Amino acid sequence: MRVRRFIKLTIGVELKTQIVTSIKVRRGPANDNRDFTQVLRKAHAVKPIKVGIGDKGYDAEKNHELLRDELHAQSIIPARQQRVPVWRTNGRYRKQMKKGY
């Protein structure tokens, strides 16, 4: 079976003024998570991040740690698997998201 290749685009945007602060373009298929750190750091260099918002594809403890501990921003990334109980979810920040999002 042949794997279909396509273009993947990850964008960092300042939502209040709708300014694109960083982008990453590459060929797929691949996980979006590998671009998160690079795009976030570039965006933070352009304009400091206060709240980082991502979709379920970016739900990883290391992404929450980068936003909260290193960049001192709030992270809003919903949990991937809503049916998994909180006590079985790994990571402090992922548990907080599951409880409060």
Q: What is the pLDDT of residues 9-18, one digit of tens each?
A: 999 999 888 9
Question: Which regions in the chain score pLDDT beneath 70?
Answer: 101
Question: What is the model's pTM?
Answer: 0.84
What token pair was written down for 23? 């982008």
Quick one: pLDDT at residue 87? Answer: 86
Domain boundaries, the chain: 6-100
**Amino acid 86: pLDDT:** 85
Strand partners, 40: none
For residue 62, give the H/E element and its range: helix 61-65
User: Does a cis peptide bond (omega within 30 degrees of 0) precede residue 85?
Assistant: no
Q: What is the pLDDT of residue 101?
A: 61
pLDDT at 82: 80
Beta strands in 1-101 (DSSP E): 6-14, 19-28, 51-53, 74-76
